[in-house]
């Protein structure tokens, strides 16, 4: 009986193999013009607004936003932000009806090296960003 169940599960789309990583075209088509809210470890983590021309705006949901851009490097989607010269590369997949991002070290290695983010929701509204800090 278990063999039959196993064979049925293995032939169902999406269960037999992990969803393939999104390439730049697929990622761009899915994200441009939207804001995605992500969780990590079951807790809200941050949000990213995907703008035209592969530009982004990231926030840890604290009202502070960082401008950046993204590009494809092998199977990875990499990001660089205005206040950080280091590239942050991820593998993005559609799983369970949402986007899953798995941090990679940028080497293109198959093994994940860190954090996983899961889509909580998406919106057509821009991120809420506070203005620059000005004081007396």
The CATH number of the domain where 58 resides is what?
Answer: 2.40.128
What does the angle CA 123 – CA 92 – CA 124 come to, to the nearest 5 degrees?
10
Q: What is the pTM of this model?
A: 0.79
Residue at 63 is within a domain: yes
Contact at 8 Å (CB) between 91 and 115?
no
Low-confidence spans in the chain with pLDDT less than 70: 1-18, 105-113, 132-136
Residue at 12 is within a domain: no
pLDDT at 42: 93
pLDDT at 19: 82
Question: Residue 94 is part of which domain span?
Answer: 27-122
All residues at 6 or more sequence positions from 128 whose CB lies less than 8 Å from its CB, including other chains: 59, 63
Residue at 4 is within a domain: no
Residue at 14 is within a domain: no
pLDDT at 8: 34
Residue at 17 is within a domain: no
pLDDT at 53: 98
Number of structural domains (the chain) is: 1
Residue at 8 is within a domain: no
Residue at 136 is within a domain: no
Tell me which DSSP letter residue 127 carries.
P
Residue at 68 is within a domain: yes
């Amino acid at each position: 009986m278990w063999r039959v169940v196993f064979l049925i599960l293995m032939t169902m789309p999406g269960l037999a193999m992990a969803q393939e990583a999104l390439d730049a075209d697929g990622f761009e088509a899915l994200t441009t013009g939207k804001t995605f809210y992500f969780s990590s470890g079951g807790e809200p983590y941050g949000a990213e607004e995907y703008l035209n021309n592969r530009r982004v705006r990231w926030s840890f949901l604290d009202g502070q936003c960082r401008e950046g851009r993204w590009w494809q490097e092998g199977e990875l989607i990499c990001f660089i932000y205005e206040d950080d010269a280091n590239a942050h590369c991820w593998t993005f997949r559609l799983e369970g009806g949402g986007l899953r991002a798995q941090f990679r070290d940028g080497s293109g290695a198959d093994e994940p090296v860190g954090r996983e983010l899961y889509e909580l929701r998406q919106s057509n509204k821009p991120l809420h960003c506070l203005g620059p800090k000005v004081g007396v």
